[in-house]
Amino acid sequence: MAFRIGIVGAGGIGHIHAAILAKDPRVTLQTVFDVDSARAQAMAARFGRQPARTLDELFKESDAVFVCTPNTTHEEVATQVLEAGKHVFCEKPFALNLKSAARLRDRAVKSGLVYQVGHNRRFAPVYKVLKSAIDKNELRPLSVHAKMNRGELVNPPWVWDASLTGGFLYETPVHMFDLMTFFFGKVDWVEVAARAHEHGELDDFSILLGFQSGLQATMKTFAHSSWHFPFERFEVYGKHSTYETFEMERISFTNGLETRTTTYDFSLATMHEKWGYVEEDRLFVDALEGKSPAPVTADDGYNVVELIETCYQSAREGARVHLGALVKKT
């Protein structure tokens, strides 16, 4: 029997998941709830379903719930889903501060239900090539540089408001923090310099990350550059090897000094595939079936929140801060 999926939040990312899930024969897109009932109605109609009038109604009709609501609501809505005994897929960010992240992680673990965080970049083909090269020891990272810019904090209209996003680092750069630990392991310390240019929030970060392995990475992220391509990029260097990503369109690498460069170009794939959404949803359904555990866990979500909070702390103090220092304080 197909798993019944309910979607909470009929906005941009809710539509993306709905479109992907509608193609998976293992699930039924059961119903949608949104505080804006017209949005819920429109999305449900698009998939030939009826909207739910309340969250409870959605829970009654669902085996698993996709939480696709704004950042500030994730802990509250995901907690309600867990309390209703339903499996959770919740969009990033996992939470917006350490206490909230610890509460949610503990509830998720205790529930024994599937809990997956929407760090889709892990499943983007370019990043899978990079991860596979590291796992197979074809690339032994010795030095890393990454950037993640935004063109503006104008669209959507609330994206400039730190009280709604949690701060710029919780916006798109959150993905880079997840990828950093996914590729290179645990971070030991960070040193961060940051400035505010617009809207009174820190929106320009120069970040130095020291990993437990000894590897060091730099990361630059600025909120108001332009949409000049590529606004997202990793450069990873090993001994006489360079791997370079260009958005989620392609990855090029050269292994050795006198050799050729290989490029994998994914530009013809659909955006849903290129950005990793198709695979993350497939793996969530695999986890519902018990085939494999959720690939991005509540623990992973917590670790990203801790890393971001440690970056903000370092920026405030103008000093190196070790991971774990904030946990001791709270």
CA neighbor of 122 nearest in space, from 14, 280, 2: 280
Is the Cβ of residue 91 or residue 279 nearer to ligand NAD in the bound state?
91
Strand ranges for the chain from DSSP E: 3-8, 27-33, 64-67, 87-91, 115-118, 143-148, 187-196, 202-211, 216-222, 232-238, 241-246, 250-255, 262-265, 321-322
Q: How far is the CB of 169 from ligand NAD (least distance, A)?
A: 12
Contact 231, 176 (CB under 8 A): no
Q: What are the beta bridge partners of residue 187? A: 211
Q: How far is the CB of 313 from ligand NAD (least distance, A)?
A: 22
Q: How far is the CB of 128 from ligand NAD (least distance, A)?
A: 16
Interface residues toward ligand NAD, by CB under 6 A: 8-14, 33-36, 39, 68-71, 73, 77, 91-92, 118, 120, 156
CA 182 to chain centre: 11
CB of 136 to ligand NAD, least distance (A): 27
CB of 171 vs ligand NAD, minimal distance in Å:
7
User: For ligand NAD, which is the closer residue by CB, 3 or 94?
Assistant: 94
Residue of 28, 85, 32 lying closest to 58 (CA atoms)? 32
- Residue among 191 and 232 whose Cβ is closer to ligand NAD: 232
Q: 232: helix, coil or strand?
A: strand
Question: Rounded to the nearest whole angstrom, what is the least distance from the CB of residue 110 to ligand NAD in the complex?
Answer: 23
Question: Among residues 43 and 192, whose Cβ is nearest to ligand NAD?
Answer: 43
CA distances from 285 to 113, 215, 270, 289 (A): 13, 35, 20, 6
By beta-carbon proximity to ligand NAD, the closer residue of 244 and 280 is 280
Least distance to ligand NAD, CB of residue 291, Å = 23
- Looking at the Cβ atoms of 164 and 325, the one nearer to ligand NAD is 164
Q: Is the peptide bond before 51 cis (omega within 30 degrees of 0)?
A: no
Q: Smaller CB distance to ligand NAD: residue 42 or 102?
A: 42
Q: Which residue is nearest to ligand NAD (CB)?
A: 11
Q: Roughly what angle, to the nearest 10 degrees, separates helices 37-46 and 12-21?
A: 30
Structure token digits, residue 58? 């959605």
**Least distance (Å) between residue 9 CB and ligand NAD:** 3
Nearest to ligand NAD of 191, 281 (CB atom): 281
List phi, psi (to 5°) of 130: -65, -45
Q: Which two tokens stand for residue 74?
A: 């994730």
CB 279 within 8 Å of CB 20: no
